[in-house]
Amino acid sequence: MRVLRRALLRAVSSNVVAVRALACKGSAVRALSGKGSAAWNEEWRRLGLGAVQEASAPALNRLMFVQTGFGCDQHGDRKGAGATSAAVRACRNAIEFNSIPGMVDHVPGGRKNMLIHVKLGIPEGYSVDHDEIRATFPYGRLLPVEVIHGGLTYGCGRSRRTLVRPKPRPSQVVLVPRRVVTELGDEDDTAIVVVAAVSIGARVR
């Protein structure tokens, strides 16, 4: 029974590591194209994949597809664009289980000309790196990202720990965060949740 339990724990641990690596790879690889510096992975960088960021917002008057997604980031340094990891995961969650081959036939100019509108609900006080959002999509023209207050932040609560002091000083009970992992850059136990609505279509005159 103990052998089986250890095998299951090893399998679960391996899966967690793999999932975390997959979820984080969007911010780990950088591209050298004119589309921006970020690329979703090395293969995309090599093939020149990645949506183009539109400076203005041409009218998306033929809406074809709307997808929603959820992303959570539980660890890491939150300075700067602290909601970026959760936002990237929300966008990937929205698109990664869908296939849209009809874009080739129904969008003038094919998939490279399809328009992408991303609306993100992020917790107040946080921001996102828009270039990382752009790199989430393999092709198309990303309209300016719309960011509103939404999503949520949460903590895991605190556990009671007894701080033993040398006599004659009495021991003291202190409350400490349960989920802080300093090796991952955590300064507190705050987790960030972002929701995304990804709309895809075209501009038809």
Contact 163, 171 (CB under 8 A): yes
- Residue 89 falls inside a structural domain: yes
- Residue 96 falls inside a structural domain: yes
Per-residue pLDDT of the chain (205 residues; tens, 9 = 90+): 444 444 444 443 433 333 333 333 333 333 333 356 677 778 888 888 889 998 877 778 888 899 999 999 887 767 777 899 999 999 999 999 888 887 888 888 888 889 999 999 999 999 999 999 999 999 999 999 999 999 999 886 655 555 566 666 676 666 666 666 666 666 777 889 999 999 999 887 7
Residues with Cβ within 8 Å of 173's Cβ and at least 6 positions away in sequence, in order, are 160, 161, 162, 163
Bridge partner residues of 11 (DSSP): none
Q: What are the CA-CA distances from residue 141 to residues 32, 35, 122, 163 (Å)?
A: 18, 10, 22, 57
Burial 60-84 (b: 16+ CB within 10 A, else e): beeebeebebebbbbbbebeebbbb
Domain that holds residue 90: 51-155+190-202
- Residue 137 falls inside a structural domain: yes
DSSP class of 30: B
- Residue 107 falls inside a structural domain: yes
Q: In total, how many domains does the chain have?
A: 1
Other beta carbons within 10 angstroms of residue 202's beta carbon come to: 21
- Residue 85 falls inside a structural domain: yes
- Residue 74 falls inside a structural domain: yes
Cα–Cα distance, 87 to 67 (Å, whole number): 14
Q: Identify the CATH number of the domain in which residue 109 sits.
A: 3.30.1330.20
Cα–Cα distance, 103 to 114 (Å, whole number): 7
Cα–Cα distance, 102 to 179 (Å, whole number): 45
Contact 81, 104 (CB under 8 A): no
- Residue 114 falls inside a structural domain: yes
Cα–Cα distance, 118 to 58 (Å, whole number): 14
- Residue 18 falls inside a structural domain: no
Cα–Cα distance, 112 to 40 (Å, whole number): 17
